Amino acid sequence: MSDDTVPTLVDPTWLENRLDAPDVQVLDCTVHLSTDGSGEYQLEPGYDDWADAHVPGSAFADLIEDLSETEDPDYPFQLPTPADFAAAVGDLGVSDDSRVVLYDTVDAGNNNEWAARLWWLFRVFGHDRVGVLDGGWARWTAGDRPVSATVTEPEPATFTADYRPELVADGDDVAARLDDDDACLINALRPSDHAAQRIPNSENVPAVGEDAVITDDGTYQSEATLRERFADVGATEAEAVITYCGGGIAASSQALALYQAGVTDAAVYDGSLSEWTADPDRPVESDE
């Protein structure tokens, strides 16, 4: 690999050796997800944690407010418009020539999901010089690598969005593929969630939990293991692959895992089950 590119999965040593490279922009995209006493989900950007300690020279990317649709969205984390995405990442110092490295700071069991979401967004909007720090913040700090608490404003840059609709699926796209033998629809949720509620004719390759595409140490499984898992459900031979989950986050991590396995054109169902189940006429299956 030449030094004007970036690996899809970035080893911490690779990044450490390039922290001073002027074209490398590091973004922390952590979102903290929790439940309150009523079981409702609470979302909070990880800005405060980033401000306390981060990869030197990095900026914080707010997936909740800046990199999702916020003007009357149809579902959480809805894809932003190309213009809004370009403006947001330009404000973070990302230009058309930038090599972007993304990471998050959540626990190992959910490592890389938020980073993978932004990785997918960059690809949707035409930027391929982007990678995810494999193992995230936990792996970075485990290696006693440099950490900073200096908060600086990135120098704004110009980013040009080039929308790739083939990497995005909506409910109509999924409905049209339900009985298509040449398509593979993959649910990225845990097996128990897949059993409880799923889109008909979908396969389950979990992005989190046991037997996930993420290992116990928060890194992605090997390329060989990923190829085997996706081959088992027919994804490596399918003409079209669509990933989904509850809201499009784990599905983005699944798209990255598919990319590592050689399936580089998988689409993410934006909104996933939160969008699918909002229409009572759309079918769902369960084992209950």
What is the torsional sign of CA 39, 268, 64, 70? negative
pLDDT at res. 41 = 72
* Neighbouring-strand partners of residue 54: 148
Contact 267, 240 (CB under 8 A): yes
Q: What is the pTM of this model?
A: 0.95
Residue 288 has pLDDT above 80, yes or no: no
Residue 161 identity: A
pLDDT at res. 106 = 79
pLDDT at res. 251 = 97
Residue 35 has pLDDT above 80, yes or no: no
Summarised one tens digit per residue, pLDDT across range 170-229 is: 999 999 999 999 999 999 999 999 999 999 999 999 998 888 999 988 899 999 999 999
pLDDT at res. 33 = 81
Residues with catalytic function:
245
Residue 81 has pLDDT above 70, yes or no: yes
Residue 239 has pLDDT above 70, yes or no: yes
Contact 94, 130 (CB under 8 A): no
Which residues neighbour 38 within 8 Å (Cβ) at sequence distance 6 or greater? Answer: none
The share of the chain scoring above pLDDT 90, in percent, equals 87
Q: Which helix (H) or strand (E) holds 25?
A: strand 24-28
Residue 280 has pLDDT above 70, yes or no: yes
Using CA atoms of 139, 79, 167, 122 in order, give the dihedral in degrees to the nearest 10.
-50
